[in-house]
Amino acid sequence: MLNSLKIWAKEVLARCDALARVSESASELTRTFLTPEHAEANRLVGGWMAAAGLQTRVDAVGNLIGRYAGTDPKAPALLIGSHLDTVRNAGKYDGMLGVVAAISCIDRLNHEGIRLACPIDVVGFVNEEGTRFGATLTGSRALAGTFNPADLDAKDSSGISMRNAMTGFGLDAARIPGAAYKPQDIAAYIELHIEQGPVLERADLALGIVTAISGASRLRVELTGLAGHAGTVPMGQRRDALAGAAEMIGFLERRCTGTPGLVGTVGWIAAQPGAVNVVPGSASFSLDIRAEKDADRIAAVEDIKAELTLIGVRRGLVLAITLLHEAPSSACSPRLMTALEAAVAQVGVKTMHLPSGAGHDAMAVAAIAEMGMLFVRCAKGISHNPAEAVTAGDVELGVQALYSFIREYKHDR
Ligand SMILES: [Zn+2]
């Protein structure tokens, strides 16, 4: 059994390499929504699906779906998926690994003549990343029936709208509602994905069971003080907007440290007028606060707003805080977590629970089905980067665990 799996892991990695060659750029991997490369990836993966015994189709939004029929025609489907699009200058495993791993598992079931009662749908989602048009999770939202039609007006850097790009791709935006599954037609959704963080590597574990996809709050902070001469305004008489921002960032870091599952980041900052000899008169920065538990995130955001207000008042800075984005946490199904744990135990390795700080298609599918995620360790936690790496050994374990999960899957309702 182990030997055959080694061959299968080799196949999974070779397919990730093959997909990495389907790129809009000769020098790096970039494959975005509704491009010829999107169509080419669907053809390539569709061929692997067909060879594994899956019946393929492309849905109204461009998702590639392969069905492995079950024995009970009335049973709701087990969905296994991830995305086939990439960021710019991407790694080879973010998204793709989950799709090709699922295909290899089905191929094996097919070879062994095993069928579940329920059908299995392997889904290669479009546009999880939002690289071309900004709007994210397009494929999984369409599948969940939560696609936002306003996204169709989003334009790429050449001014082409998503709506027109769909037409050029041979799809009809008006048909997108038809891509939605009914909740009663999905038994569960499972996604295998690289961790995209360093936690599993630090814990010396190949596989992790995701507890929840963290909720997120994004805010913009704008500070207005008074610009002045860097040589003449005494320290005690300044209204330095950037020094105020620095104190605020220090508070954010302290406030978000020590609560498990809570993280806070200032990823962008700007100061004006931006000259070496001028006290900054204004500054703006971003806040990104995420947590496994919504209550932890909401409490942190409230504390940070309150402390920033105090710092602003003390320093004579006018403060404006704007909420840009807020998404609640999506909990993984306890039933599926238990089943994934059993599958990892069958493989014979230890595992751990961890939240996903990154968003995934699973959080969109969670609107209509219970979902679970299996993380595979990646080197140094690096992702969204060509240096993204996994080991063949970890992939073997991941595919083996996913296979065990599928084989033992029983839908009780
Ligand atoms: Zn991804």
Ligand 1 centroid – CA 81 distance (Å): 11
Q: Domain check: are 73 and 157 in the same one? A: yes
Average pLDDT, integer, range 307-316 = 98
pLDDT at 412 over 70: no
Place of tokens 């008042």: 313
Domain boundaries, position 225: 215-327
Ligand 1 centroid – CA 78 distance (Å): 20
pLDDT at 199 over 80: yes
Ligand 1 centroid – CA 120 distance (Å): 21
Residue 134 DSSP class? S
Distance CA 341, CA 401 (A): 9
pLDDT at 4 over 80: no
pLDDT tens, 366-404? 999 999 999 999 999 999 999 999 999 999 999 999 999
Please give the distance of CA 9 from its chain centroid, rounded to a whole number. Answer: 23
What mean pLDDT value characterizes the chain? 96
Ligand 1 centroid – CA 76 distance (Å): 25
Ligand 1 centroid – CA 242 distance (Å): 35
Q: Domain check: are 117 and 257 in the same one? A: no
pLDDT tens, 71-107? 998 999 999 999 999 999 999 999 999 999 999 999 9
Among candidate residues 305, 327, 349, the one where a domain is terminated: 327
Confidence class of residue 186 from pLDDT cuts 50, 70 and 90? very high
Structure tokens given for 256: 């978000």
Which CATH number does the domain housing residue 288 bear?
Answer: 3.30.70.360
pLDDT value of residue 411: 75
The widest CA-to-CA distance across the chain, in whole angstroms, is 83
Ligand 1 centroid – CA 127 distance (Å): 10
Distance CA 163, CA 150 (A): 10
Ligand 1 centroid – CA 325 distance (Å): 20
For 46-60, the DSSP string reads: HHHHHHTTPEEEE-T
| Domain assignment present for 413 | no
Give yes or no for a cis peptide into 273 (omega within 30° of 0).
yes
Residue 288 DSSP class? E
| Domain assignment present for 90 | yes
| Domain assignment present for 183 | yes
Ligand 1 centroid – CA 359 distance (Å): 8
Place of tokens 């990836």: 41
Q: Domain check: are 171 and 225 in the same one? A: no
pLDDT tens, 218-247? 999 999 999 999 999 999 999 999 999 999
Query: 64: which residues sit within 8 A by CB, 6+ positions away?
Result: 42, 45, 46, 49, 56, 57, 58, 84, 123, 124
Q: Domain check: are 8 and 67 in the same one? A: yes
Query: 49: which residues sit within 8 A by CB, 6+ positions away?
Result: 56, 64, 66, 103, 106, 122
Among candidate residues 309, 327, 345, the one where a domain is terminated: 327
Number of domains making up the chain = 2
Ligand 1 centroid – CA 229 distance (Å): 48
pLDDT value of residue 24: 97
| Domain assignment present for 138 | yes
Ligand 1 centroid – CA 97 distance (Å): 9
Q: Domain check: are 268 and 139 in the same one? A: no
For residues 407 and 109, is the Cβ–Cβ distance under 8 A? yes
| Domain assignment present for 244 | yes
pLDDT value of residue 73: 82
Q: Domain check: are 306 and 251 in the same one? A: yes
Over the Cα atoms of the chain, what is R_g?
24
Which CATH number does the domain housing residue 132 bear?
Answer: 3.40.630.10
Q: Domain check: are 179 and 205 in the same one? A: yes
Distance CA 367, CA 361 (A): 11
Residue 116 DSSP class? -
Virtual CA dihedral for 224, 228, 230, 236, nearest 10 degrees?
A: -70
Among candidate residues 277, 293, 327, the one where a domain is terminated: 327
Ligand 1 centroid – CA 91 distance (Å): 10
| Domain assignment present for 394 | yes
| Domain assignment present for 383 | yes
Q: Domain check: are 208 and 240 in the same one? A: no
Q: Domain check: are 186 and 49 in the same one? A: yes
pLDDT at 2 over 70: no
| Domain assignment present for 367 | yes
Q: Domain check: are 316 and 207 in the same one? A: no
Q: Domain check: are 171 and 281 in the same one? A: no
Q: Domain check: are 323 and 358 in the same one? A: no
Give yes or no for a cis peptide into 328 (omega within 30° of 0).
no
Average pLDDT, integer, range 100-123 = 96
Distance CA 108, CA 93 (A): 21
Q: Which of 336, 404, 401 is nearest to 373 (CA)?
A: 336
pLDDT tens, 6-63? 678 899 999 999 999 999 999 999 999 999 999 999 999 999 999 999 999 999 999 9
Phi-psi category of 34—alpha, beta or left, where left has phi over 0 and alpha has psi -120 to 50? left
Please give the distance of CA 349 from its chain centroid, rounded to a whole number. Answer: 25
Q: Which of 202, 222, 209, 54 is nearest to 122 (CA)?
A: 54
